[in-house]
Structure 1
Amino acid sequence: MKARINIKDITGIQEFNLEADIVPGNGAGNISFKNTITDFESVITASLFDNHKTKIMHEIHNKNIYMSLSSEGKEFEVDIDLLTGKIVSMTCRNGYKGKLFMEFGIGNKMSDLLKVNKNIRFDLDHDFYVNYPFDGLIIYPPDYKLAEKIFNATVEGKAIPDFTIDTIVIIDMEFAKKMYSGTLIY
């Protein structure tokens, strides 16, 4: 008979580093796309016991096969495919201090990023910005109306409306090839 493991003895990732760099194709929050659901075992099981707390919240989405793990204020969120146990996306929001390309992050102007990185382009199929060639980076305009204005300006060759970056997403390239085959993979 196998002995039960004491919840106090379970190790694994207990919190996210909200100052870690955002690296497309690699990770953010000191989490890598190489991490799997097993690295978060203590977080998932801790909610069953009142005496063991972590700094990571979790929820399972009812209508699909993903689990989300997030910091307490949702500044950083990781989505895990429950069938494979692999991380498919990481989302950085307001309050995340880490930088993209070592100098841009949440709170910076999109126009400043576009001046420095000429490979960032607006994807007309999905209404968000991506790095070309696609490396998993996605930057969403803050709302649908602004995305529509950016779309129209891009098509018409006019000045692109600026905005403050409030969401940066990086997705796993294997996941991207399955979900966006033919549209994002250049």
Structure 2
Amino acid sequence: MKARNNIETITGIKEFDLDADIIPEVGAGGISFKNTLKDFESVITANLFENHNTKIKHEVDSKYIFITLSSQKKEFKTEIDLLTGKIVSMSCSKGYSGKIFKEFGVGDKMSDFIKANPNIGFDLDHDAYVNHPFDGLMIYPPIQLRDKIINAVVQGKAVPDFIIDSYEIIDMEFARKNFEGTLFY
């Protein structure tokens, strides 16, 4: 519980913690879903106006009105809704060493994750593995395996195994608004 309290009170964030646990419904990268765009103002300002080489990069997606903040090599990314200032998702990929459920990380086999977590299953609406009830965790299989996995799930056959290359957690409030009716809570 101590780790949860620490990441939920951080402000003035200057870099991401690539060793931090991945905690569905709470956060990853040393930040939480309680953080907002305001907590990143100093690094965004430094990047825009002072031309500093900060440890957090940013990209604005004007089509969807999101700003994506990432570590230098994009091992960790977070998307923030520019209209609300709230974090909507966090992604951990190659180079991120933090663990989910204290045991699994990027580079582990999906079959091992499924054995240890009987609540996870493949969600056909979103082409991702999710926990039931949904807690914000989404694990996307490699693109080349998606159709094979979908077919195997529909037909009740053995699902192809793969190495997990990223974990995504999404904010539960965002999920309820945008995926209502398609995710189990």
TM-score between both structures, scaled by the size of structure 1: 0.91
Amino acid corresponding to residue 115 of structure 1 in structure 2: K
- Unmatched 5+ stretches in structure 1: 1-10
Q: Distance in 2 between matches of 1:99 and 1:142?
A: 20
Partners of 2:35 and 2:168 lie apart in 1 by 17
Whole-Å separation in 2 of the counterparts to 1:120 and 1:141: 13
Deviations 1:15-74 (A, max 9, x none): 000010000000001010000001001111001113x43200001012111000000000
Q: Whole-Å Cα distance in 1 between the matches of residues 142 and 92 of structure 2? A: 13
Q: Match for residue 154 of structure 2?
A: 155
Partner of 1:84 in structure 2?
84
Say if 2:103 is the partner of 1:103. yes
Q: Is the 8 A contact 2:78 2:87 kept in 1?
A: yes
Match of 2:174, SS state, is helix
Please report how far the alpha carbon of residue 88 of structure 1 lies from its aligned counterpart in structure 2 after TM superposition.
Answer: 0.3
Check conservation: 1:107, 1:166, Cα contact below 8 A: yes
Tell me the residue number matched to 1:55: 55
Equivalence for 2:170: 171
The answer to whether the 8 Å contact 1:74/1:93 transfers is: yes
Note the C-alpha offset of 1:172: 0.3
- Paired positions, count: 174
Q: What amino acid maps onto 1:127 in structure 2? A: D
Deviations 1:114-136 (A, max 9, x none): 01100010001111000110000
Deviating 4+ runs (over 3 angstroms): none
Structure 1 equivalent of residue 33 of structure 2: 33
Structure-2 residue corresponding to 1:117: 117
Residues 75 and 93, structure 2, Cα contact 8 Å, conserved in 1: yes
Larger radius of gyration: 1
In structure 1, what residue type is equivalent to 2:164? Answer: I
Q: Does the 8 Å CA contact 2:132/2:184 hold for their aligned counterparts? A: no
**Partners of 1:18 and 1:137 in 2: CA distance:** 18
Residue 12 of structure 1, CA deviation: 1.1
Q: Which has the larger displacement, 59-68 or 19-28?
A: 59-68
- The secondary structure found in structure 2 opposite 1:112 is helix
Say whether the 8 Å CA contact 1:127–1:148 is kept in structure 2: no
In the alignment, the residues of structure 1 paired with residue 175 and residue 64 of structure 2 have an alpha-carbon distance, to the nearest angstrom, of 17
Q: Which amino acid aligns with 1:123?
A: D
- Opposite residue 183 of structure 2, the aligned amino acid is L
SS in 2 for 1:170: strand
